[in-house]
Amino acid sequence: GQSLEQPSEVTAVEGAIVQINCTYQTSGFYGLSWYQQHDGGAPTFLSYNALDGLEETGRFSSFLSRSDSYGYLLLQELQMKDSASYFCAVRAITGGGNKLTFGTGTQLKVEL
């Protein structure tokens, strides 16, 4: 099966940089995704890493190390609107299809 671990909560101040780590165990690994979910909202896609290294999309960057089964999401120049839950998710090949297994989420609180 698949399992993912990420911190349950992170607090940071506006304008700062925060890193949310994710370690995973899976077979048939395809890639690591990150999703953001505001309270009462639907998860929205942020980034995807299939290869080792850093992917940058505006203020958000995501990193993957396949050999370490580890990734992180980096949020720069934090804004109050970044307060949300962030989920890492592993995409793995299983039985002819694929499924996304999510971590339990990290609640990010951005303070003034």
CA distances from 11 to 8, 18, 19, 65, 84 (A): 11, 8, 11, 25, 11
Phi-psi domain of 44 (left: phi exceeds 0; alpha: psi -120 through 50; beta: other): beta
At its nearest, how many Å lie between other proteins and the CB of residue 16? Answer: 26
Q: Near other proteins by CB under 8 A, which window of 12-20, 61-69, 70-78, 87-95?
A: 87-95
Q: Is 98 in the site for other proteins (CB under 8 A)?
A: yes
Q: Is 44 in the site for other proteins (CB under 8 A)?
A: yes
Cα 96 to Cα 92: distance, rounded to the nearest angstrom: 10
Residue 36: strand pairing partners: 44, 86
Instruction: Show Cβ contacts of residue 53 under 8 Å, excluding neighbours closer than 6 positions.
Output: 63, 64
Q: Is 104 in the site for other proteins (CB under 8 A)?
A: yes
Out of 82, 103, 108, 110, the only residue in the binding site for other proteins (CB under 8 A) is 103
Of 78 and 88, nearer to other proteins (C-beta) is 88
Site residues for other proteins per CB under 8 A: 30-31, 33, 41-45, 48, 50, 87, 89, 91, 94-105
